[in-house]
Structure 1
Amino acid sequence: MGKKDNASDAIVIKKYANRRLYDTSTSQYVTLDYVRKLVKEGADFTVVDAKSGEDLTHSVLSQIIFEEEARGENLLPLPFLRQLIQYYDDSLQSVVPSYLQATMEAFAQQQEAMRERFAGSMHSPQAMMDAFQEQTRRNMEMFGQAVQMFNPYIGGGAASGDEDASASHEESDELKAMRAELDAMRAKIDKMSGN
């Protein structure tokens, strides 16, 4: 098990109807724990249905998360899970995956600095809360930037001097709803952090 260099070297794991997984690169049957190790190693792989060829990677990774949570790891807090479920069939549904991906990428880049910061703050609950709040503020800034990418009228995306142009830039109902949801999320974070 190791990192692959390019897409042509990606590991293909076939999933059979009996739920068995078969790693074609090693010609052996494997378990979900094996797939979890591939993820931790940063290996490039896909899981496909052995019969149809349908990509099942998302559902297998979701299953791994479900099993980790069922074991009591509880990486995903209950309020987060509830909020995530609420975004299904919501006007922001298309923004959420990009936001979560960008947030996790930024988190991964800052991982070592955060470990040091949190390790230093373990002696003080207030220092730990301050470090958490700072990271939350950064995440909210990233969310604002993500929202700007999807709506050119936020933050001066279009410029024209006449009154007709400014009238055309009035907030749409969807934008108002997005701002209200963003304000609600900020209020929840402030409440959770004790502000």
Structure 2
Amino acid sequence: MADNDPPRLPIVIKKYANRRLYDTEASVYITLDSLAEMVRAGREFVVLDAKTGDDITRAVLTQIIVEEETRGRNMLPLAFLRQLIAYYGDRMQGVVPDYLERMMSDFANQQVQLRSTVQRTMETLLSPEVSKNLSPAITTGMQEVGRQNLEMMDRAMTLFAPFYRVPDASEAPDVAVVPVAEVGGELSALRAEVAELRREL
């Protein structure tokens, strides 16, 4: 899309009582998989209840996640899911959405930077000067790629850290809380792997 082109409006998807989804832009019925592909392609859409007109986008996106998880494409740790559920109705509930959105945005930016670094490294290796600059290019480029990878792993380790906490005395005893010792062991193991990667660079 050119810089002077107007921004594309979100596609309006209507969901009917029989759970069928209708793409009003393409005038076709689609599936949850179709919506998942739209998300991956960066195409914005809103899902409206065909009868009431209510915006049910959040519920449908959640349904897509459930579908992916049931297919064995597990990405959400059980500990994270349990603690996330525990935050519903908690005094921290209002903070969690902004925190998750910010952390996922940072993680996505790290991915973009890593891809850019890899691309620059490959362009350097394939340049006409490769014959005389091969060794420095490989060394510098791969060190940068390794550094970016380590930064991403460090950020990934801290992504879910705030969700592992010891409950306050005032909290209900049946709130699902991940054992701190268990989480600490997992984080220690991951940090050890990161340290080993640093030594290899």
Tell me whether the two structures share a fold, i.e. TM-score over 0.5. Answer: yes
Query: Residue 14 of structure 1 contacts residue 49 of structure 1 at CA under 8 Å; is this kept in 2?
Result: yes
5+ residue gaps, structure 2, are: 119-141, 163-167, 172-177, 190-201
Deviations, residues 60-93 of structure 1 (Å, cap 9, x unaligned): 1000000100000110011111111111111100
Deviation of 1:51 after TM superposition, in Å, equals 1.1
Counterpart of 1:193 in structure 2: which amino acid?
L
Report whether the alignment pairs 1:48 with 2:42.
no
User: Is 1:133–1:193's contact at 8 Å kept on the other side of the alignment?
Assistant: no
2:41 equivalent to 1:21: no
CA contact (8 A) 1:12 1:48 kept: yes
1:194 aligns with 2:188: yes
Q: What residue in structure 1 maps to residue 154 of structure 2?
A: 134
Q: Percent identity between the aligned chains? A: 46
Aligned equivalent of 2:138: none
Aligned residue in 1 for 2:75: 75
CA–CA distance in 2 between the matches of 1:89 and 1:47? 26
CA distance in 2, matches of 1:33, 1:72: 15
Cα distance, 1:81–1:138 mapped onto 2, change above 3 Å: closer
Which whole-Å CA distance do the structure 2 matches of 1:77 and 1:114 have between them? Answer: 24
TM-score by length of 2: 0.60
Written as runs of structure 1 = structure 2, the 5 A alignment for 1:32-111 is 32-111=32-111
- How do 1:111-190 residues align onto structure 2 when only pairs under 5 Å count? 111-113=111-113, 134-136=154-156, 139=159, 190=184
Give the direction of change, closer, same or farther, for the CA distance of 1:65–1:108 in structure 2 (3 Å limit).
same
- Can you give the 5+ residue segments of structure 1 that lack an aligned partner in the other structure? 121-126, 144-173, 178-183
Shift of 1:44: 1.1
CA distance in 2, matches of 1:22, 1:137: 40
Instruction: Give the whole-Å Cα distance in 2 for the aligned partners of 1:48 and 1:12.
Output: 7
Distance 1:5 1:65, change over 3 A: farther
CA apart distance, 1:193: 1.6
Structure 1 residue 58 displacement after superposition: 0.5
Q: What's the CA shift string for 1:132-165, capped at 9, x where partnerless? A: 7621466489x7xxxxxxxxxxxxxxxxxxxxxx
**1:191 match: secondary structure:** helix
Q: Shift in Å at residue 112 of structure 1? A: 4.0
Q: CA deviation at 1:6?
A: 2.9
The answer to whether residue 7 in structure 2 is matched with residue 6 in structure 1 is yes
Instruction: Measure, in 1, the Cα distance between the counterparts of 2:70 and 2:22.
Output: 24
| CA deviation map 1:7-51 (0-9, x unaligned) | 6x2100000011000000001111111111110011111000011
C-alpha distance in 2, partners of 1:188/1:6?
Answer: 48
Q: For each residue in 1:83-118, what CA deviation from the matched residue of structure 2 results, as whole angstroms up to 9, or x when unmatched? A: 11111111100000110000101110001456789x
- TM-score, L = length of structure 1: 0.62
Report the alpha carbon displacement of residue 191 of structure 1 after superposing the two structures with TM.
Answer: 3.1
